[in-house]
Amino acid sequence: KLRSLDSHIYLMNYFEKKFRKLRKNIDKNKSLNHMENLDFGHDFIYNQKLKKFILQKKIYLSIASYLGFRPILHRVYFMYSFKKNYLNKDSSQYFHSDYEDLRGIKLFVNLTKISKSNGPFTFINKKISEKIYKNTNYSKNYKKQKRLSDEIIEKYTKKKNWKNNSGNKGDCLMIDTNSCLHFGSRLKKGERVMVCFFFLSPFSYIF
């Protein structure tokens, strides 16, 4: 819970207004995946309050300390999920890791209340994830990367070790998605909206 979000209601209003504008591009009657990643655009660079939020010590210095380098904000985007009647085995609805670097931090800000029924981001900690990587010969090379089923994961860790990002609107999660197996968007009802700030080291292959 970041006090800076509580004290700057402007930021939540800014996120919501931005999302509503992008959401107009989505026609739910078309054949869409369970989730749409809506790019934020680059005008956030000129938003001083948003910049101040990102650069606060609790966020920026924590990420710098973890990565061991001055982090680069690679991308800002909305994660919008809505109910579908199926799970796509090749999608982020199944366990996987990100591949852009050895480490990479994503800061998620909930724009809706999230419970177990509307597809929370679900993850396994780094230590257990490393054990599963080793035992399944999991490759982080995006060309060879595969999704892991729940049944495979349960061979190595119990469901009680699966953590989920349930919480109220405005709650935040910072996680190394390159080191922790995770999935999201398994909705039973409703929808889920988050804004994601993706930080990488200067040595990510993307750069």
Q: Which pLDDT score is estimated for 33? A: 53
Give the pTM: 0.88
- Per-residue pLDDT, 158: 93
Question: Of residues 5 and 125, which shows the higher confidence score?
Answer: 125
pLDDT given at position 28: 57
pLDDT in tens, 144-187: 678 899 899 999 999 999 999 999 999 999 999 999 999 988 88
Nearest alpha-carbon partner for 23 in 107, 103, 80, 89 = 80
Question: Is the pLDDT at 59 greater than 80, yes or no?
Answer: yes
Q: What is the pLDDT of residue 103?
A: 92
Q: What is the average per-residue pLDDT within 47-74? A: 91
Q: Token pair for residue 4?
A: 């800076």
Q: Average pLDDT over the chain, rounded to whole? A: 86
Query: What pLDDT sits at residue 34?
Result: 53
- pLDDT of res. 84: 67
Phi, psi at 191, each rounded to 5°: -150, 165
State the pLDDT at residue 92: 82
Integer Cα distance of 13 and 112 in angstroms: 12
